[in-house]
Structure 1
Amino acid sequence: MKKMFKLQWLSVLMLAFVLVGCGAKEDTNKETVSKEDQQVEKTSYKVKDDRGVEVEFNAVPKTIVSLQPSNTEILFALGVGDKIVGATEFDTYPEEAKKIERVSSSTTFNSERILALKPDVVIAYTTGSDDENLNALKVLEDAGIKVFAIKSATSFDDVYGDIQQVASVMGIEDKGEKLNEDIKAKIAEVQAKVKDVKAKNIYLEISPKPDIYTTGSGTFQQEILNAANVKNVFADLESWQKVSEEDVIAKNPEVILTTVNTENSAAEILARGGWNSITAIQNKAVYFIDPDISNRPGPRIGEAVELIAKAVYPELFK
């Protein structure tokens, strides 16, 4: 039987909601740059991960195991997704990611299979606390596998840092910088369209009845809402919080957004008994937002901001 080790996923009642972030900078010894593919040839360079560990590489990794969907998206966005040989069951974007061998579920990873794949690096994650998953990953390190851990993201700046870190590991710092510039330009484009509109009050549901959860301040989702120029009716709460139906009714949002990835989640909200006094229900302003885009702190954060803005202010995007 394959030996499985438990991972601690940073997720609060969101399907496949995993966040990764960083803040550490790299320390590298650069050699030459190939003009053909922009790949930096390096020898014996080091990149510091978010455990504070300086991971040393004798050459740019040719094979990678990615244990977070957001990291997988970053690798593909940087043009090195073809180097991924192992991923999680939630790696669904881009389409090519679905073909990668699954070595991790939402709770465990298959250490024996990862060892058999002999990747040049495992890009893992840490929540910044005493992670049980980091203890499990030590088994890989003890077997000679390089592990690069990235701290869970809570802001756009963290995402930009993630991208630059991964780019440094792969010897393509310039591509990381360009990707970040493109993402920021996308967000700025959306903000230019919504900057003069009167912000609407919205309620974001991330878990349905009977245990209704929403997002508050200090979350990645709140930053997306802020960038889209909408007002979260539960911004006075901290982090992800359970709320009652009475709480939502009392807040009377103008628009309701749901990232609950079930069939007809918006229709279920529209049909809830006792909610017909809510402005959003009366106007049928209830919309499903793709959780893979809105919950995943990776290179599609610009798309996430646009999704929210289009749902709340469709007239500005005609």
Structure 2
Amino acid sequence: MKKIVKFQWLSVLMLAFLLVGCGTADEKAKEDTSKQGAQTEELGYKVKDDRGEEIAFDAVPETVISLAPSNTEILFALGVGDKIVGATDYDTYPAEALEIERVSDSMVFNSERILGLNPDVVIAYTVGEKDALKVLEDAGVKVFVIQSATSFEDVYGDIEQLAKVMGVEDKGKQLNKEIKEKIAVVEAKVKDVETPKNVYYEVSSPPNIFTLGDDTFQQDILDAAKVNNVFGDQKGWIQVSEEEIITKNPEVILVPSIGDKDVVGGILGRNGWNTVQAVQNKQVFSLDEDTLSRPGPRIGEAVELVAKAVYPELFQ
């Protein structure tokens, strides 16, 4: 779990009282000096990012570049999406994000264009591109790094961090409260499920099949929906074989939607998969890829999508 550091706004207010009667000239001079110091003191704040770097801000950023769709969604959910001047090719939600200038394909960003936009802060996605980020920092751009979330708690922490950066801490707390409430509603509907169904979640299709295990925020989605991930005994992103999946014999298969491609039909028609319960019973469901893959404000919706697909009778 990432550590979130709390900070307080620093402010000092000096009040000058009118001296009457026997006040000396020296006392008045000291008072005037204190008053001027209070008027000229600069206000600012610092927020620690996921590198452990304390990023100092003299004022709340007015222009922001987001280098990850999840962070873009968080910023919009916090009510400051209108401050984003640069985003990635995959920033598609909410609809307003489509109007933002593209400065990255999520893997490589256009540092020249970012510098040209002169943002108050760049919200970077991970600590992986240290050299690339250094180009921006060497040019004087503030870079705030959010590391990829591996749990719901990480997502809540990301929201808190960005809310602090953007000066909307109360909105951050309210957003996390609303997300948790949405998840709680789903958990209440599935709480009486005695035997969770065995589920296989396919991230990518053959020939290179990937799924996910523990230490991913998607595992938290599956847990909250009260389903059993057949690969939950492993950690992270896992490459698996068709034989392993067939042996696991899941009752339900979940697969992210990919454009207009018939991903469900593709799984139902795979050679050798006709012995799998999910295929035999046609319990293969395509779910919105962005909702399930982005560690942002829609994780509550993701839990609901999974629970509705696996236990539709509980949502009638």
Pick the TM interval, shorter chain. Answer: 0.7 to 0.9
| Higher strand residue share | 1
Aligned match of 1:257: 254
Query: Secondary structure of 1:126's partner?
Result: coil
> 2:285 and 2:174 mapped to 1: Cα distance?
33
**Segments of 4+ in structure 1 off by > 2 A?**
21-24
> Which of the residues 214, 217, 220 maps onto 1:223?
220
| In the alignment, structure 1 residue 179 sits paired with structure 2 residue 175 | yes
| Higher helix residue share | 2
> Which of the residues 154, 161, 174 maps onto 1:158?
154
Structure 1 residue 51, shift from structure 2 partner: 1.5
> 1:245 and 1:51 mapped to 2: Cα distance?
38
Aligned match of 2:242: 245
Please say if residues 10 and 44 of structure 2, whose CA atoms lie closer than 8 Å, have aligned partners that are also in contact. no
Aligned match of 2:74: 74
Query: Secondary structure of 1:234's partner?
Result: coil
Tell me which amino acid in the other structure corresponds to 2:220. Answer: E
Report Cα offsets for 1:79-99 as digits up to 9, x if no partner: 000000000001000000011
Question: Structure 1 residues 284-293 or 236-245, which shifts more?
Answer: 236-245
> 2:224 and 2:133 mapped to 1: Cα distance?
36
Aligned match of 1:24: 4
Structure 1 residue 302, shift from structure 2 partner: 0.4
Tell me which amino acid in the other structure corresponds to 1:243. Answer: V
Structure 1 residue 249, shift from structure 2 partner: 1.2
What count of residue pairs does the alignment treat as equivalent? Answer: 285
Query: Secondary structure of 2:146's partner?
Result: strand
> 1:125 and 1:88 mapped to 2: Cα distance?
11
Which one has a bigger Cα radius of gyration?
Answer: 2
Report Cα offsets for 1:250-293 as digits up to 9, x if no partner: 11111010125250011100011111111111111100111101
Please say if residues 22 and 150 of structure 1, whose CA atoms lie closer than 8 Å, have aligned partners that are also in contact. no
Tell me which amino acid in the other structure corresponds to 1:149. Answer: V
Please say if residues 251 and 277 of structure 2, whose CA atoms lie closer than 8 Å, have aligned partners that are also in contact. yes
Tell me which amino acid in the other structure corresponds to 1:23. Answer: K
Identical residues among aligned pairs (%): 63
TM (normalized to structure 2)? 0.87
Report Cα offsets for 1:10-47 as digits up to 9, x if no partner: xxxxxxxxxxx842314232569xxxxxxxxx931111
Please say if residues 28 and 47 of structure 1, whose CA atoms lie closer than 8 Å, have aligned partners that are also in contact. no
